[in-house]
């Protein structure tokens, strides 16, 4: 008996089932496309048919002003991207340290845990704008030697605020790992630090990767708030162009660029979330 004789041959019923599923998939795609087109047409008709549409279009969607403002907004966006990278790394690192401090056991570490808890409570409760104003406008007033620039202080405000949120995400991941795994690692001769590094943290980070990425997406938007302190990022460049032309189109340009910047990160977040869900389901 040759190998070709033992090859699997689907039955007629299975072939009919596959064909039916293919037809259902095509039908679902067509229905989804049609419903989306109808809804989009209704929205376009409702907006463009409004009495003040012409005035809004001139004030917010002027192509000539958009083309004029685009180079300056792009230069400002490059500052936002660099700030995002450094703030994301700083927030992740500081948040992980605070989460580890909150998980320390023993009465001798109570002051450390209390300090970590106070930190997370404070910076999760404070509005980000207030933190930016205090660090960029208040701290320079101390006139200390070696005072960093306003941009660095604004980035520090973002790191301090978002590390409070990320610390709770990391802590949730650490506490989701069953204590028996730590006990098993200790029974094999690993120290507490080695057990956290080689057993707990890899599982914890993998479990909380989706919320970590979601917070990074939120940080990507909030880096634009540093413009309140003066640095010329995309938002500040749009504000300057708006003041020059007495037109709000540059803000729309900046908003579109921020959305385009967020799309890859959002796609990665969705992919990681779907992958985690499939792993949890055992697929």
Q: Answer whether residue 254 is part of any domain.
A: yes
Asked if 208 and 172 touch (Cβ cutoff 8 Å), the reply is: yes
pTM of the predicted protein model: 0.81
Q: Answer whether residue 188 is part of any domain.
A: yes
- pLDDT tens-digit map of 169-215: 999 999 888 888 888 888 888 888 888 888 888 888 888 888 888 89
Domain that holds residue 140: 64-278
Q: Answer whether residue 146 is part of any domain.
A: yes
- pLDDT given for residue 207 in this prediction: 86
Q: Answer whether residue 47 is part of any domain.
A: no
- pLDDT given for residue 171 in this prediction: 92
What average pLDDT does this structure show over 117-146? 91
* Token code pair at residue 19: 């064909």
Q: Answer whether residue 7 is part of any domain.
A: no
Q: Answer whether residue 1 is part of any domain.
A: no
Instruction: Quickly state the pLDDT bin for 99 (edges 50, 70, 90).
Output: very high
Say yes or no to pLDDT of 4 above 60. Answer: no
Q: Answer whether residue 44 is part of any domain.
A: no
Share of the chain above pLDDT 70, in %: 96
DSSP of the chain, one letter per residue?
Answer: --TGGGS----HHHHHHHHHHHHHHHHHHHHHHHHHHHHHHHHHHHHHTSTTHHHHHHHH--HHHHHHHHHHHHHHHHHHHHHHHHHHHHHHHHHHHHHHHHT--SGGGHHHHHHHHHHHHHHHHS-HHHHHHIIIIIGGGG--TTPPPHHHHHHHHHHHHHHHHHHHHHHHHHHHS-HHHHHHHHHTT--HHHHIIIIIHHHHHHHTHHHHHHHHHHHHHHGGGGGGGS---HHHHHHHHHHHHT-SHHHHHHHHHHHHHHHHHHHHHHHHHHHHHHHHHT-
> What CATH number should be reported for the domain holding residue 206?
1.10.3720.10
Distance CA 25, CA 187 (A): 53
Distance CA 202, CA 105 (A): 20
What average pLDDT does this structure show over 227-245? 90
Q: Answer whether residue 264 is part of any domain.
A: yes
Instruction: Quickly state the pLDDT bin for 132 (edges 50, 70, 90).
Output: very high
Number of domains making up the chain = 1
Number of Cβ within a 10 Å radius of residue 45: 10
71-226-172-100 Cα dihedral, nearest 10 degrees: 120
Asked if 111 and 185 touch (Cβ cutoff 8 Å), the reply is: no
For the chain, give the mean pLDDT. 88
Residue position matching structure tokens 């340009």: 253
The most confident of 43-47, 70-74, 138-142, 261-265, by mean pLDDT = 70-74
């Amino acid at each position: 008996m040759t190998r070709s004789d033992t090859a699997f041959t689907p039955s007629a019923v299975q072939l009919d089932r596959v064909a039916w599923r293919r037809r259902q998939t095509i039908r679902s795609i067509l229905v989804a496309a049609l419903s989306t087109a109808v809804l989009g047409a209704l929205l376009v008709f409702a907006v463009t048919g409004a009495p003040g549409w012409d005035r809004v279009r001139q004030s917010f969607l002027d192509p000539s002003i958009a083309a004029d403002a685009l180079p300056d907004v792009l230069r400002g966006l490059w500052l936002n991207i660099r700030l995002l990278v450094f703030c994301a790394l700083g927030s992740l690192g500081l948040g992980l340290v605070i989460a580890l401090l909150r998980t320390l056991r023993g009465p001798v570490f109570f002051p450390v845990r209390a300090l970590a808890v106070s930190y997370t409570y404070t910076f999760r409760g404070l509005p980000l704008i207030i933190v930016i104003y205090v660090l960029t406008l208040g701290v320079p007033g101390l006139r200390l030697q070696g005072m960093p620039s306003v941009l660095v202080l604004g980035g520090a405000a973002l790191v301090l605020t978002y590390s409070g949120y990320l610390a709770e995400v990391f802590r949730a991941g650490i506490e989701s790992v069953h204590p028996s795994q730590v006990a098993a690692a200790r029974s094999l001769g690993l120290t507490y630090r080695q057990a956290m590094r080689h057993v707990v943290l890899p599982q914890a980070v993998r479990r909380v990767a989706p919320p970590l990425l979601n917070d990074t997406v939120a940080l990507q938007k909030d880096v634009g708030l540093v413009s309140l302190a003066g640095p010329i990022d995309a938002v500040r460049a749009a504000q300057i162009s708006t003041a020059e032309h007495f037109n709000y189109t540059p803000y729309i340009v900046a908003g579109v660029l921020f959305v385009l910047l967020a799309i890859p990160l959002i796609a990665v977040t969705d992919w990681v979330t779907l992958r985690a869900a499939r792993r949890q389901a055992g697929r």
